[in-house]
């Protein structure tokens, strides 16, 4: 773990830094565009764009956003929180930054009484935080994504009646 690592919400003036960090971590501009596409919309969660700071440098970022949960007949049931993108500066990966961001995101979701978190991600990374195949709790993906990558984490406010087909906010690519 890096010394003096702080996790806190992004400040308004940090949008460009967050964009550059995502571009660097992913080596392409797609994820940074997603973050910018959600910023300022009703999918943006107040306090849900988290940055990891060490010294005065922002070294990691995680976005929580509001997706949708639909019934089988297409009726909107409710909003649900989605995790991603998660990004850590290439030179500082594998030192606990991503884990610290994930733990803070889970804590925020818990505090805000969210029943679950959903994500599409690396099969070997997210289970350590408790994420498991989302289909097993009745949360279907919008596309036929593999169980290994389409995951959900149940939180204390979860109830088995919360089931349906999830969809990421419109700023995410539709594939
Ligand atoms: C994935 C990512 C956010 C993890 O953050 P991090 O700070 O490097 O991770 P941590 O130090 O908290 O955790 C390290 C663990 O994550 C694993 N890990 C790191 N990158 C990984 C990846 N791309 N796939 C699977 N596991 C990964 C490491 O193997 C290590 O596992 P171990 O503890 O069993 O050795 C970061 O590596 C990153 O920004 N990668 C590029 C962008 C990306 O792929 N984002 C995730 C999209 S789902």
Residue 10 sits in a domain of what CATH number? 3.40.630.30
25 lines ligand 1 (CB under 6 A): yes
- CA separation (Å) from 99 to 10, 65, 129, 160? 17, 18, 8, 27
Question: What spacing in Å lies between the alpha carbon of 6 and ligand 1's midpoint?
Answer: 18
Tell me, yes or no, whether 137 lies in a domain. yes
User: What is the per-residue pLDDT across 112-141, written as a single tens digit (0 to 9) for each?
Assistant: 999 999 999 999 999 999 999 999 999 999
CB neighbour class for 133 (10 Å; exposed up to 12, middle 13-18, buried from 19): middle
For the chain, which ranges sit under pLDDT 50?
none
Q: Whose CA is nearest to atom 23 of ligand 1?
A: 122
Residue 172: inside a domain, yes or no? no
67 within domain boundaries: yes
d(CA 86, CA 137): 23
Q: How many angstroms is it from 124 CA to the middle of ligand 1?
A: 9
User: Looking at residue 164, what is its pLDDT?
Assistant: 98
Rounded Cα gap, residues 62 and 83, in angstroms:
7
Let me know if residue 142 belongs to a domain.
yes
Confidence (pLDDT) at 1: 67
Is 94 inside any structural domain? yes
Q: Is residue 113 part of a domain?
A: yes
Range of the domain at 75: 5-167
Asked if residue 158 has its Cβ within 6 Å of ligand 1, the reply is no
In short, whether 149's Cβ falls inside 6 Å of ligand 1 is: no
Domain count, the chain: 1
**Is 97's C-beta closer than 6 angstroms to any atom of ligand 1?**
yes
Probe residue for ligand 1, chosen from 20, 118, 125, 150 as the CB with the greatest number of ligand atoms within 8 Å: 125
* pLDDT attached to residue 2: 79
Tell me, in angstroms, the distance from the centre of ligand 1 to residue 123's CA.
11
Residue 56 confidence (pLDDT): 85
Does 157 fall in a domain?
Answer: yes
Whether ligand 1 lies within 6 angstroms of the CB of 127 is answered as no
CA of 121 to the centre of ligand 1 (A): 10
71: its two tokens: 């019934």
Domain assignment of residue 173, yes or no:
no
């Amino acid at each position: 773990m890096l010394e003096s690592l702080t996790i806190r919400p992004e400040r308004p003036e940090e949008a460009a830094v967050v964009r550059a960090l995502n571009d660097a971590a992913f080596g392409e501009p797609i994820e940074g565009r997603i973050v910018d596409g959600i910023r300022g919309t009703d999918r943006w969660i107040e306090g849900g764009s988290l940055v990891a700071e060490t010294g005065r440098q922002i070294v990691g970022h995680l976005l929580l956003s509001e997706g949708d949960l639909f019934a089988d007949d297409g009726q909107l049931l409710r909003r649900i929180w989605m995790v991603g993108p998660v990004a850590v500066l290439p030179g500082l990966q594998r030192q606990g930054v991503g884990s610290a961001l994930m733990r803070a995101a889970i804590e925020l979701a818990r505090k805000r009484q969210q029943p679950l978190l959903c994500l599409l991600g690396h099969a070997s990374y997210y289970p350590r935080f408790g994420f498991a195949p989302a289909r097993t709790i009745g949360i279907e993906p919008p596309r036929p994504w593999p169980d290994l990558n389409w995951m959900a984490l149940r939180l204390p406010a979860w109830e088995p009646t919360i089931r349906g087909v999830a969809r990421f906010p419109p700023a995410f690519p539709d594939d």
